[in-house]
Amino acid sequence: MGDYQYVKVAVANRIATLTIDHPPANAFNKQVIEELGSAFDEVTTSDEVKAIIITGAGQFFVAGADINEIYAVKDKPEEAEAFIRKGKVVFNKIEASKKPVIAAMNGRFALGGGLEMSMACHIRLAEDGLRIGQPEINLGIIPGWGGTQRLPRIVGKGKALEIMLTGDPVTAQEAYRIGLVNKVVPTGRVLKEATGLARRIVSKSALPIAAIIDAVNEGLEKDLQAGLEVETEQFVALQGSEDMDEGLKAFLEKRRPQFKDR
């Protein structure tokens, strides 16, 4: 794997862990975004990797975008647009990944761009004590990396507007209550919990993993009937695969399946 300054990459047991390490608060600047995109490309194209975890180093998950960089382009609309589009490209890659991506949201804060990145992940785990929010309105701006679109799709229009219009963070427990995170875990255990979850997922066949992600992502952009057609297409596409044959045989023979991802 590549050697990056601000993104640490570790691979074990077919699970890649990407750790954003940009002290003091793991804020996103151009270089961090570029490195995250490159590292993500590496692990998604590697045959050694079947699931991905994204977390932060130290006391922060990601505290948001680098305010200095936002300020530097405040009077330069073209540069501001380029910065925003760069982040969107990376986060869209995360959401569209056929390999499951888990956000292990650690530390004190997951704000702004940090929350937006986590919402592009397929599953989110948060440490108890974490504060989560979209505080951009306090800076006279709006979320630019998907917050206005993904947040209402996850928690509903009313709650999303409340979070974005007040700029007030919510607790990890409140985030769980409104469906923004899948689970709250004790402080210091989120990476261990995420790794355990990833291990359960990688024990399955990669073919239905990718098919489920595709069916959900594509189906949510359509009406119900069109989404059901997408599901049918994905189901039929798996017919005749070695792993389908193995899974069915293992069930009938009352043993654990040995999937080969083909």
Q: Which helix (H) or strand (E) holds 162?
A: helix 157-166
* Sequence-ordered list of residues with C-beta below 8 angstroms from that of 249, at least 6 positions apart, any chain: 257
* Sequence-ordered list of residues with C-beta below 8 angstroms from that of 214, at least 6 positions apart, any chain: 98, 230, 234
State how far the Cα of 102 lies from the Cα of 255, in Å rounded to an integer: 29
- Give me the catalytic one of 35, 116, 127, 193: 116
State how far the Cα of 91 lies from the Cα of 96, in Å rounded to an integer: 9
Residue 126 structure tokens: 């948060």
Residue 85: other Cβ atoms inside 10 A? 11
Compute and round to an integer the Cα radius of gyration of the chain: 19
- Give me the catalytic one of 136, 221, 233, 253: 136
CA 99, 104, 107: angle at the middle one, nearest 5?
A: 160
Residue with tokens 């910065």: 83
Active site residue 81: no
For residues 96 and 118, is the Cβ–Cβ distance under 8 A?
Answer: no
Active site residue 116: yes
State how far the Cα of 88 lies from the Cα of 151, in Å rounded to an integer: 14
For residues 97 and 213, is the Cβ–Cβ distance under 8 A?
Answer: yes
CA 105, 91, 173: angle at the middle one, nearest 5?
A: 25
* Sequence-ordered list of residues with C-beta below 8 angstroms from that of 81, at least 6 positions apart, any chain: none
Active-site amino acid positions: 116, 136
